[in-house]
Structure 1
Amino acid sequence: MAPYTVQRDLPVTMPDGVTLLADRYVPSGVERPPTILVRTPYGRRGPAALANGLLFVPFGFQLVVQSARGTSGSGGEFDPLGREREDGLATVEWLKRQPWFHGTFGAFGPSYLGYSAWAIAAAAGPELKAMSLQITASTFRDAAYVGGSFALESALTWTDLTHRQRRPLGMLTAPLTSRRRAVRAARSGRPLAELDVLAGGRPMRFYQDLLAGHTGENGYWDDRDFSGTVGEVTAPVTLLGGWYDVFLPWQVRDYLALRAAGHAPYLTIGPWWHTDARHGLVTVRESLAWFRAHLLGDPSGLRRDPVRVYVTGAREWRHYRDWPPPGTRQVSWHLHGGGGLGEDGPQDAPASTYRFDPARPTPALGGPTLLGSSRPVDNRPLERRPDVLVFTSPALDADLDVIGPVGADLFVRSDREHTDFVVRLCDVAPDGSSRTVCEGGLRLPAAAEKPVGTDGVRRIGVDLWPTGHRFARGHRVRVHVTSGAHPKVAANPGTGEPLATATRMVTAHQEVFHDPDRPSAIILPIVERSAEATVPAPGEEEV
């Protein structure tokens, strides 16, 4: 007997009369099983079926997968991020009226699918009993404008992807070509407002909406940001992310919001990036345990500690009671004149300087990106550039475990009011290779800056991606300070002109200070080896 049966193209009518289509998978031999709801713009069948949760069905769950408005046969126009709350809640009400509805359901999905779940989570009613979400967040706003800049490569890539996937064979070909087209367009030097046409051959609404929404003045994000309702969600939530995923900082923020509201979410972070296939098996295993616990009343598959992170460099999983790990110390490693780095405090030395030219922006050799690999790469070619400051510690005489949020406290001066600062933390191996651990940036003017005096020096705080990494004995800790990460982030033209149409570019003379009155530093979360619980899962010591 087949493990399940399928009902195709179930019509679900929205309040405005538009009909959305859904497929229902029903496990054989199970009477009125609990439901897992998935809402997606990426298709219901073919290769998408596994990502949509099909593997849960043989374990006693019925699965309802609905195509978002304007995709894969559903009516209306696809408005990315714009209709997920209204359409999702109408779908939940339809679900509750079905004779085969068990009375409880869970929400599942990675990336956009997870965002769709967050859109309805606070208002779905008591029938929503569990949520398992991966590489996603309750808002994509801050991921689009990292540190106040513009995430050019990811914005252009995703717009091109969703635009092309509606063409014949688009679901198969677009993921392979969209990033390449986006990067080529981003490197053209044309104004940002023209790059959608350059990449995709025609204007693309979502890309233009993101550009227009950068200032926040047009209200674009008012009904697309659900971070403010995370604490109101009563269903148990488990989150899975990757150290190199584009959404990780805001996924961690969702976890912290749930904790602050008194909830007990689970959090798993592995050495993965957004499209890394390796997190698929972990997703299925952990989601299945979560749904069995909260929809079937069988908690036997749940781990004891809610937080589970993979420590790169140490190649081991660690379990903690909370995030950041209890007992973490925030330690300042100061940037020294002459390129040194260490805990020994600031030193009297002239400021380090460089010149940033937005017409020839500092590139990003790696780092989180939406499509393609974000595996850490060797930064030595970047470190030879004159527009990158490099600060390096002596070789470590013992392992150093850095696990938690990473930040930078910099004293800087620029001859431009409008400019960017990018900070990158690297691990330097004995062979000299310098690989990124995490990074972040800040666009000025920004709320995070604090004037220090009348000489134009500003104190800025830069949030880097959180991390879980061991700097091994004999390795060195390295910090980059620069002003570009192109094309991942759009170059700051330095003029303050509107982001979309700026054409004039001016160079910026940048200074980073090191003296006792202006002690620039990287802030590292240090975890003592003796204070942690290390519980590698069988077969997962290396991933």
Structure 2
Amino acid sequence: MPTARTRARIAVVMAGLLVTALAAAPATADPPGRRPTPPHVVGTGTVPAYSFADAIRESVWVETRVDSDGDGVRDRVAADVVRPREAAAAGVRVPVIMEASPYYLCCGRGNEGEFKAYDASGVIAKVPLFYDNYFVPRGYAFVAVDLAGTARSTGCEDVGGPLEVGSARAVVDWLNGRARAYTADGRPVDAGWSTGRVGMIGKSWDGSVANGVAATGVPGLATIVPVSAISSWYDYTRYQGALTSTDYPGWLHSVVSSRPEDACATVLARLRADSAEQTGDYNGFWAQRDYRPSAGRVRASVLVAHGLHDLNVTTGQFASWWQELAERGVPRRLWLSQAGHQDPFDVRRAEWVALLHRWFDYWLQGLRNGVMEEPRVDLETAPGRWTTQRDWPAPGTRDVRVPLGVGDGVTGTLGGRGARPGQERAYVDESLTEDVVVAAPTTATAGRLVFLSGTLSTALRISGSPSVRLRVRVDRPTTELSARLVDYGTAERSWFGAVRTLDTESCWGESTEVDDACYRDTEEITGVSDHAVLTRGWLDAAHHRSLRLTTPLRPDRWYTVTVPLNAYDTVVPAGHVLGLVLGQSDPEFTVTDDRDATVRVDLGRSELVLPVTGRAGLPTVDVAPAVVTAPAEPSAARSARTERQRP
């Protein structure tokens, strides 16, 4: 009996025969003076009209504008191209879907960790992921770019900086006739087969490159699809001045670099010297890797995808970028899931591929298929439960200021009465793990402060970026301040945004013997729990005035500080209790040498700022309700930390 994979391949072959038969049918003549409709366009969509097996596959090296490794020759980045042979033979130019990545040979791409593969002559034979399998038969070229200093490219990788972004931009320039490229034996090669319209896509680092290239305003880049992507590398390696890891830019460079150690020693030394690890300051080095201020230069449309439980590239990355794009009127769309650091292909596969197909058809092929008239946001509100809305944050969202109350002396209140100035609570840094800091909120635990709302009488919709404004006095020059918003109540929840890989598979495009279009199916992992952390935030207190410099705290002074929490979107059900938990050093998420500080909080001058929709608010209470939680499962934060260490 044929296996599932064999049956899937047979289905792909039969689909190809059907398309061939349709293509052979008589076509309606185009009006005089109009260009003939290419065979891959039917109505307002593209169809698989070309052979993937017979596609042209070529490897070229695009010349950049810099010599980053100092060898006297401009850097050249490898670009592996797959494009339809029949279109080339007919003189039909095609647009390009492009993914620029540092991972193609070092680390693998996608849930199944695929790598590039080459034939005996060094020409591309297999590209990871399904993009070439699916889109090349539909009249697109796919270009997989090795960033400078990685895989088969020369030059040096500078982790989000101008060398990296410039190397990807050079390929867009080549596809538009503005840069030179060469074959392996040095022959010049142009991209006359390209329409010049390029769409960049990628997850994590790859999507971050797409953001960076779009922020240069390069002509020809028509759209980008950043998935779980970085918009500010400072915010990826620092949480408001608090380090997430030590030597992170240098470590990332070393992981992905394919160059001899001495070739990029100077670049690596600059990464370590200029990143201001000793202070955590935002400086010129980080400004080069912050794409948000350049949002006004973006000419491309943007389809953003992110997981609300992403603890690697946290949600503030998409939220800040989205806001900058919105303020400048950039055409955009948003796909928010309950996932962690996952590709939508592994969360809601069929719907994601369908959206990508229509998105690229609209922006790269110029087909008016209505994709931009649909609601701007697709949102997963609970595991497997999806809805759409006009924008994000949800229309009608307003910031509600929730005071902090004394409560019973052990647990404070959210929305409590009588939070007058001068009512204080103090806590000492204990470096608690997340499991400990949020569990048993009505039990006295050293090293934290807990504030609970009353039991919600109606559901509470939170949509946007909360923050905590604190009036504090600290007996050390600095300490880390951490805050968590917690939903106390039993519900089925996405289990830290993880997915499970199944034994079944599905196929998305055509396959060859080397390049398979079939991938194992996945499903979200869910579980019932009696509480869950919704969102988190951190601040190095000495950066309360500015991220560009430290201002050591004096023990005899009160300071007003704001701890921003990561963006979130959820409905807290009626009957649940909302909690705010304050801590200090956070060993599972940050790295700090600051220990043992005592922080005093003036409750009457402190508050939670909560973005909510509608007229609902938190009930006013004098004493927080009794809330009991079961012993925690193995730490979600440890899982996040493991995930975080992967490039």
Aligned in 2, Cα 1:123/1:386: closer, same or farther, shift over 3 Å?
closer
The CA deviation at 1:72 is 1.3
The CA deviation at 1:388 is 1.6
The runs of at least 4 aligned residues of structure 1 exceeding 6 Å deviation read 381-384, 449-454
2:474 matched to which residue of 1? 414
Give, in whole Å, the separation in 1 of the partners of 2:59 and 2:278. 35
- Counterpart among 14, 22, 43 of residue 104 in structure 2: 43
The CA deviation at 1:263 is 2.3
- Counterpart among 372, 376, 385 of residue 306 in structure 1: 376
1:347 aligns with 2:419: yes
Give, in whole Å, the separation in 1 of the partners of 2:338 and 2:250. 26
Give the aligned residue type for 1:70.
G
Q: How many residues align?
A: 464
Give, in whole Å, the separation in 1 of the partners of 2:414 and 2:560. 20
The equivalences for 1:126-137 within 5 A come to: 126-137=219-230
1:507 matched to which residue of 2? 596
Give the conservation status (yes or no) of the 8 Å contact 1:364–1:488. Answer: no
- Counterpart among 332, 341, 366 of residue 265 in structure 1: 332
1:81 matched to which residue of 2? 160
Give, in whole Å, the separation in 2 of the partners of 1:72 and 1:394. 56
Give, in whole Å, the separation in 1 of the partners of 2:269 and 2:348. 31
Give, in whole Å, the separation in 2 of the partners of 1:480 and 1:240. 29
1:64 aligns with 2:143: yes
1:474 aligns with 2:575: yes
1:390 aligns with 2:450: yes
2:507 matched to which residue of 1? none
Aligned in 2, Cα 1:481/1:122: closer, same or farther, shift over 3 Å?
closer
The CA deviation at 1:390 is 1.4
1:524 aligns with 2:610: yes
The CA deviation at 1:92 is 2.2
Give the conservation status (yes or no) of the 8 Å contact 2:400–2:612. Answer: yes
1:228 matched to which residue of 2? 293
CA-to-aligned-CA distance 1:406-437 (integer Å, 9 cap, x gap)? 11122222112311211100011159832100
Give, in whole Å, the separation in 1 of the partners of 2:403 and 2:282. 38
CA-to-aligned-CA distance 1:275-302 (integer Å, 9 cap, x gap)? 4673473654433221111111224262
- Counterpart among 335, 341, 351 of residue 274 in structure 1: 341
The CA deviation at 1:378 is 7.4
Q: Secondary structure at the match of 1:433?
A: strand
Give, in whole Å, the separation in 1 of the partners of 2:130 and 2:231. 19
1:287 matched to which residue of 2? 356
2:94 matched to which residue of 1? 33
2:533 matched to which residue of 1? 436
Give, in whole Å, the separation in 1 of the partners of 2:593 and 2:141. 49
CA-to-aligned-CA distance 1:65-119 (integer Å, 9 cap, x gap)? 1101121121233332231232223222222231211231112112211222222
Give, in whole Å, the separation in 2 of the partners of 1:320 and 1:300. 19
Give the aligned residue type for 2:466.
V
1:251 aligns with 2:307: no
Give the aligned residue type for 1:89.
R
Q: Secondary structure at the match of 2:55?
A: strand
Give the aligned residue type for 1:109.
G
1:14 aligns with 2:52: no
Q: Secondary structure at the match of 2:94?
A: coil
Give the aligned residue type for 2:580.
V
Give, in whole Å, the separation in 1 of the partners of 2:439 and 2:584. 16
Give, in whole Å, the separation in 1 of the partners of 2:543 and 2:488. 31
Give the conservation status (yes or no) of the 8 Å contact 1:380–1:433. Answer: no
Give the aligned residue type for 1:74.
S
CA RMSD across the alignment: 3.5
- Counterpart among 432, 442, 461 of residue 362 in structure 1: 432
Aligned in 2, Cα 1:237/1:67: closer, same or farther, shift over 3 Å?
same
Bigger Rg, structure 1 or 2? 2
Give, in whole Å, the separation in 1 of the partners of 2:368 and 2:544. 45
2:23 matched to which residue of 1? none
1:372 matched to which residue of 2? none
Give the conservation status (yes or no) of the 8 Å contact 2:478–2:553. Answer: no
Aligned in 2, Cα 1:208/1:437: closer, same or farther, shift over 3 Å?
farther
Give, in whole Å, the separation in 1 of the partners of 2:96 and 2:326. 26
Give the conservation status (yes or no) of the 8 Å contact 2:484–2:581. Answer: yes
- Counterpart among 240, 244, 259 of residue 151 in structure 1: 244
Please give the TM-score of this superposition, normalised by the length of structure 1: 0.76
Q: Secondary structure at the match of 1:34?
A: strand
Give, in whole Å, the separation in 2 of the partners of 1:523 and 1:80. 34
Give the conservation status (yes or no) of the 8 Å contact 2:78–2:152. Answer: yes
1:101 matched to which residue of 2? 194
Give the aligned residue type for 1:88.
A
CA-to-aligned-CA distance 1:413-470 (integer Å, 9 cap, x gap)? 2112311211100011159832100010111123459999996222221110111111
1:458 aligns with 2:559: yes
CA-to-aligned-CA distance 1:370-391 (integer Å, 9 cap, x gap)? xxxxxxx974599874102111
Give the conservation status (yes or no) of the 8 Å contact 1:3–1:27. Answer: no
Aligned in 2, Cα 1:32/1:379: closer, same or farther, shift over 3 Å?
farther
The CA deviation at 1:24 is 0.6
Give, in whole Å, the separation in 1 of the partners of 2:398 and 2:223. 34
Give, in whole Å, the separation in 1 of the partners of 2:449 and 2:232. 33
Give the conservation status (yes or no) of the 8 Å contact 1:88–1:119. Answer: no
Give the aligned residue type for 1:525.
P
Give the aligned residue type for 1:356.
D
Give the conservation status (yes or no) of the 8 Å contact 2:228–2:305. Answer: yes
Aligned in 2, Cα 1:453/1:223: closer, same or farther, shift over 3 Å?
closer
Deviates more, 1:118-127 or 1:98-107: 118-127
Give the conservation status (yes or no) of the 8 Å contact 1:354–1:511. Answer: yes
Give, in whole Å, the separation in 2 of the partners of 1:418 and 1:242. 32
Give the conservation status (yes or no) of the 8 Å contact 2:405–2:415. Answer: no
Give the aligned residue type for 2:425.
S
CA-to-aligned-CA distance 1:312-344 (integer Å, 9 cap, x gap)? 48x633323222222112222222213232334
Q: Secondary structure at the match of 2:543?
A: coil
Aligned in 2, Cα 1:237/1:87: closer, same or farther, shift over 3 Å?
same
Give the aligned residue type for 1:510.
V
Gapped regions of structure 1 (runs ≥ 5) = 168-202, 367-376, 494-505, 531-543
The CA deviation at 1:165 is 5.7
1:92 aligns with 2:172: yes
Give the aligned residue type for 2:100.
R
The CA deviation at 1:513 is 2.2
Give the aligned residue type for 2:63.
T
Give, in whole Å, the separation in 2 of the partners of 1:138 and 1:514. 35
Give, in whole Å, the separation in 1 of the partners of 2:589 and 2:553. 31
Give the conservation status (yes or no) of the 8 Å contact 2:482–2:582. Answer: yes
Give, in whole Å, the separation in 2 of the partners of 1:236 and 1:416. 47
